[in-house]
Amino acid sequence: MRLRPLDFLAILASLLLVVAFSVYAYTSGEKNPNVIIEASGQQWIYPLREDRQVTVSGPLGDELIAIWDGMAFVVTSPCPNKICILQGKISRPGQWIACLPNKVFIRISGSAERGADGVDMISY
């Protein structure tokens, strides 16, 4: 079986389409994501790229949250199990940390909240 000139054109067009969608999938997203902290019925928004420490109050006491080197994480918390500290650092849109006993919620804003987080282990 021989390929005709239009077959080569169809193959080339398909490859270009796959490359274009791959580039879009890996480069789309928010360029300047924010850290959104919710506690005590209030909300604070900070740029993820600016280093700072934030203290928020919850029902159990004060919680120290650090935004450092493009990542957000809980430094200290008055909750008994410290699961919010063990959740580690978050840096990508759609990731979050919750301290349920102290009612503090931290998340990274961006396109992943709408389901456009890109390729992950489950979709692979």
Write out pLDDT tens, residues 20-51. Answer: 887 776 665 557 899 999 998 999 999 999 99
Beta bridge partners of 17: none
Report how far residue 84's alpha carbon sits from residue 71's, in angstroms, rounded to the nearest whole number: 14
Domain extent listing, the chain:
34-114
Contact 93, 107 (CB under 8 A): no
> Helices in the chain by DSSP H: which ranges?
5-27, 83-86
- According to DSSP, residue 90 is labeled B
pLDDT in tens, 7-17: 888 888 898 88
Coil, strand or helix at 8: helix
Q: Report pLDDT for 6.
A: 87
> Is the pLDDT assigned to residue 123 strictly greater than 60?
no
Q: What is the CATH architecture of 34-114? A: Sandwich (2.60)
Place 91 in a pLDDT band, splitting at 50, 70 and 90: very high
Structure tokens at 111: 């396109």
Predicted confidence (pLDDT) per residue in 60-79, tens digit: 999 999 999 999 999 999 99
- Give the pLDDT confidence score for residue 61 in this predicted structure: 95
Q: Is 23 helix (H, G, I), strand (E, B) or coil?
A: helix
Distance CA 97, CA 105 (A): 6
